[in-house]
């Protein structure tokens, strides 16, 4: 898959997403390189591998170019050895809401306690139904980008840096 990725990100208020989810999978990902808004990511999702290249986001953080290709698990395992130090470890839950599917990520390790949801859209102004567990929008807030969380993990943020009103 490649093309323009348009998505909105939100903090999650409670764990209602777990009972609403129709699917879940474990994800471990690393970054071969990340900087200036561009990333080359290696992901292992359950027993499948992926290589993803993302370009910089537009000014409001809603869209950016994304190229993703499935690779073998062996290739992904080998490429993980080339990644920058650290990794992102999370479980992704899929929750249907209206005609959209929200991806809810529950983070572990140095990002324990962070739960975010995102929804992919066809256009930046496309309407969508928010599930009740959706909290404050963080679209465009670079602190919540996975590549940023690798270098500045959630557990290291100062008190009050994350919003209490999730």
Catalytic amino acids?
31
- The answer to whether 106 and 93 have CB atoms below 8 angstroms apart is yes
| Residues in the chain, overall count | 166
Residue whose token pair is 């529950």:
106
- The answer to whether 9 and 137 have CB atoms below 8 angstroms apart is yes
Rama region for 63: left / alpha / beta (φ>0; ψ in -120 to 50; rest): beta
- The answer to whether 138 and 10 have CB atoms below 8 angstroms apart is yes
Helix (H, G, I), strand (E, B) or coil at 83: coil
Q: What DSSP character marks residue 143?
A: G
* Exposure letters 90-115 (e unless 16+ CB within 10 A, then b): bbbbebebeebebbbbbbeebbeebb
């Amino acid at each position: 898959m490649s093309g323009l990725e348009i998505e909105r990100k939100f903090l999650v208020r409670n764990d209602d997403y777990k009972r609403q989810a129709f699917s879940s999978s474990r994800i471990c990902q690393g970054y071969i390189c990340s900087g200036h808004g561009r990333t080359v990511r290696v992901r292992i999702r359950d027993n499948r591998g992926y290589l993803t290249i993302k370009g910089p986001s537009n000014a409001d953080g809603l869209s950016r170019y994304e190229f993703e290709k499935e690779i073998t698990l062996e290739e992904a395992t080998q490429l993980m050895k080339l990644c920058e130090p650290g990794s992102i470890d999370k479980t992704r839950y899929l929750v249907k809401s209206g005609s959209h599917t929200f991806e809810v990520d529950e983070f572990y390790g140095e990002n324990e306690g962070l739960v975010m949801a995102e929804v992919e859209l066809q256009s930046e102004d496309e309407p969508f139904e928010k599930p009740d567990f959706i909290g404050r929008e963080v679209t465009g807030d670079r602190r919540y980008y996975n590549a940023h969380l690798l270098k500045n993990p959630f557990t290291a943020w100062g008190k009050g840096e994350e919003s209490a009103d999730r």
